[in-house]
Structure 1
Amino acid sequence: MNYTTQMDAAKKGIITPEIRKVAEKENIQIELLRERVAKGTVAIPANKNHKSLNPEGIGEGLRTKINVNLGISKDCCDVEKEFDKVKLAIDMKAEAIMDLSCYGKTEEFRKKLIDYSPAIIGTVPMYDAVGFYDKELKDLTADDLFRVVEKHAQDGVDFMTIHAGMNLETADIFKRNPRLGGIVSRGGSILYAWMELNGQENPFFEQYDRLLNICQEYDVTLSLGDACRPGAIEDSTDPSQIKELMTLGELTKRAWEKNVQVMIEGPGHMAINEIQANMMLEKKLCHGAPFYVLGPIVTDVAPGYDHITSAIGGAIAAANGADFLCYVTPAEHLRLPDIDDMKEGIIASKIAAHAGDIGKGIKGAREWDNKMSKARNNLDWEEMFKLCIDEEKARRYRESSMPEDEKTCTMCGKMCAVRNMNKVMEGKNINILREDD
């Protein structure tokens, strides 16, 4: 039986190789996964032209996935250095990579990335449009924008961020409700500017069926972008954000009618006490579609530490239903991240995702922690290292400061609670000041 997309196959009762693979990875019943893909609450981004893909599922009942942003810019356009980041992201088992390249040989970098990467690949075609045509923003036509989308789809991009919810109505809401931080989405701001400069409706909203036809042909998952995501905690959950989210919910249903998979992108900067409500709103307004969040970053005052502020928000978001976390590095708001920044961001995001999985009861999530707890109780350092989210750092820290009693660490030495409880529970003597018997 023929099918056009993963969703089309799932609706027809077909178990695709991608559905089978994801079911094995997630230890979930194949039929249950198929039902969720058919319903739209799980997406399996898998472009027909991405031949090196090792598929992942994003959504209801599955592990929280993480995305790594990278790509060349005018100020940092070393392709080889940027590809070193690709290799690191894959080595660290990030499930997705977004190529946000916006200058120079974007096509060359994108094709190399797709050929190499087993991870899901995403892009924002709007970033590429100005450079692709060597035209100023005002001079780009709707046809120009759609040709870039189709080129990315042909190249094998698995999911694309398209800011289709930034329409004239949303723009009017934004104008009537001034923000402290304005519009901070790069793609959203570019589209808003294009609309203002040309006095026209957003082509991706106005010709939405044309966009869906491209996605359907190549099985591109549509990541409906949040042009009005808050860039300051003061702006979160405001009329612009909620109006756009309502529009995205309507666009989600239209995409599903054409068997196009959808993810919804979300905040952004957000006060910690608003995160739970925002997760509920997205799931309600967007009919349970997978939710992809940047952070949320829970305070605006920590440049250099935004991998921490986002991990705090990401853990809360994931525990309350977010399905996909975009990593944030210490370089956020400051510069393009380097390799060390990337590693810090990936680790922070993986911690947040795993903490969220424990909170929402994902099958098997606690087992990892329970194994670590057992190893700690046994003072089995080798097993602890193997279970670490970052084995290299854990080993380096321990080896930099070794205790007299090799079973303990230099924090407590022979006063180690675990050491002494193990001994006393075994009926042994505890020597703290002298050598053991």
Structure 2
Amino acid sequence: MTRSPFPNSRKIYIKGKLHPIEVAMREIEVGSSDPGFGDNGSPQPNSSITVYDTSGPYTDPTKEIDVHKGLEPLRSGWILGRGDVEELPEFSSGFARASAGKSGVMAIKFGNIRKPLRAKAGANVTQMHYARKGIITPEMEYIAIRENQRIDELRGSLGDLMKYHPGESFGANIPRTHITPEFVRDEVAEGRAIIPSNINHPESEPMIIGRNFLVKINANIGNSAVTSSIEEEVEKAVWACRWGADTIMDLSTGKNIHETREWIMRNSPVPVGTVPIYQALEKVDGKAEDITWEIFRDTLVEQAEQGVDYFTIHAGVLLGYIHLTADRVTGIVSRGGSIMAKWCLAHHKESFLYTNFEEICEIMKAYD
């Protein structure tokens, strides 16, 4: 596995002020300007540039990495320190429990599986909940430092070079100077931004997605019935992080989806998302009409307790709308949407994703 940093670059860690955190970034060494550029005709040294870095420890040669053990649980202390989660004695998902005892998968199982965490009864462990209570979590301060890329330090030394024309904001409300932890908290509290950070994915480095923050890029990976292996999927995940993927989606549709996802989760420094209906379909041997709410719900819990940070759920495909797709040139182009459309037509019932959406939200609230 590639461990070297990028050319002319090194991993640096910026300390927090509100919390004892260290934010990973990439510092790029800049060469001197050509002679004659300055006043005295000699080469002019330039300051280094700090940029956002999604590669986690994979570009830090000082870190020990063993994919069989997984990454260090960066956020574990923060999560447990809030006192609102409990460790479960076993997985809540029936499928996850059954998978744990299958002799056929023992050879490919991840070896260091932790017991899952869940919110205590009556507790809310989402970053939005903390934000609305006025709390600045370590995740929020981490994000503020990360989004700034040390621009607050540069502003004092570069002076007029930091000026820019405000232009047309098109509704954005980005601070003119730099992002603060308070700004991160307020944007999350208002619902304009999200921090995907499942309590069962402590290996992830906090990041934010929202209108007033840096643009984020997702990378899709996943096996199929035709090709790929666990080794290849972990390699894809690592390469995606190294080359700038802010999040990863595991869209696996082949064999051993649960086991493959565990390896990805434990070795991913970025949030991981899924489309749960894909795995639910595999559980019924590809027959969409055989999916039930109970199977889908169990799949949500299974994935949430593994640490999946966000879901794609096609809850907007309603029975009454399906006929509108009949004359479309390309029909329904969404795989998940077509699965749910087939289910609705087969049963002539409203989508169970729509009718059970409140319970879906309660499940996600328990794991963030």
Cα drift, residue 174 of structure 1: 3.0
Structure 2 residues not aligned, in runs of 5+? 1-81, 85-123, 149-178
Q: Confirm or deny: 8 A CA contact 2:319 2:348 kept in the other structure.
A: no
**Do structure 1's residue 55 and structure 2's residue 199 form an aligned pair?**
no
TM-score, length basis structure 2: 0.57
Deviations 1:364-422 (A, max 9, x none): xxxxxxxxxxxxxxxxxxxxxxxxxxxxxxxxxxxxxxxxxxxxxxxxxxxxxxxxxxx
d(CA) in 2 for partners of 1:93, 1:111: 22
Cα drift, residue 212 of structure 1: 0.6
**Do structure 1's residue 14 and structure 2's residue 135 form an aligned pair?**
yes
**Do structure 1's residue 29 and structure 2's residue 173 form an aligned pair?**
no
Q: Which of 322, 331, 347 is matched with 1:182 structurally?
A: 331
Deviations 1:165-195 (A, max 9, x none): 11123324334xx211111111111111111
Cα drift, residue 135 of structure 1: 6.2
- SS of the residue corresponding to residue 312 of structure 2 reads strand
Equivalence map 1:171-210=2 (5 Å)? 171-175=322-326, 178-210=327-359
**Do structure 1's residue 154 and structure 2's residue 322 form an aligned pair?**
no
Q: Which has the higher contact order (CA 8 A, sep 6+)?
A: 2
Equivalence map 1:383-422=2 (5 Å)? none
Partner of 2:296: 145
Deviations 1:38-79 (A, max 9, x none): 111111000010010001100021110000001000011322
d(CA) in 2 for partners of 1:95, 1:36: 19
d(CA) in 2 for partners of 1:84, 1:135: 27
Structure 1 residues not aligned, in runs of 5+? 220-437
TM-score, length basis structure 1: 0.48
Partner of 2:287: 136
How much identity, in percent, do the aligned residues show?
38
Cα drift, residue 133 of structure 1: 4.4
AA aligned to 1:145 is: F
Equivalence map 1:260-339=2 (5 Å)? none
Aligned structure 1 segments of 4 or more residues deviating by more than 4 angstroms: none
- SS of the residue corresponding to residue 4 of structure 1 reads coil
Q: Which of 95, 104, 108 is matched with 2:255 structurally?
A: 104
Cα drift, residue 93 of structure 1: 2.6
**Do structure 1's residue 212 and structure 2's residue 212 form an aligned pair?**
no
129-138 or 154-163: which moved more? 129-138
d(CA) in 2 for partners of 1:148, 1:65: 27
- SS of the residue corresponding to residue 238 of structure 2 reads helix
Partner of 2:189: 38
Partner of 1:82: 233
Q: Confirm or deny: 8 A CA contact 1:167 1:202 kept in the other structure.
A: yes
AA aligned to 1:63 is: L
- SS of the residue corresponding to residue 209 of structure 1 reads helix
d(CA) in 1 for partners of 2:262, 2:233: 14
- SS of the residue corresponding to residue 68 of structure 1 reads strand
- SS of the residue corresponding to residue 320 of structure 2 reads helix
d(CA) in 2 for partners of 1:169, 1:212: 23
Q: Confirm or deny: 8 A CA contact 2:217 2:244 kept in the other structure.
A: no
AA aligned to 1:131 is: E
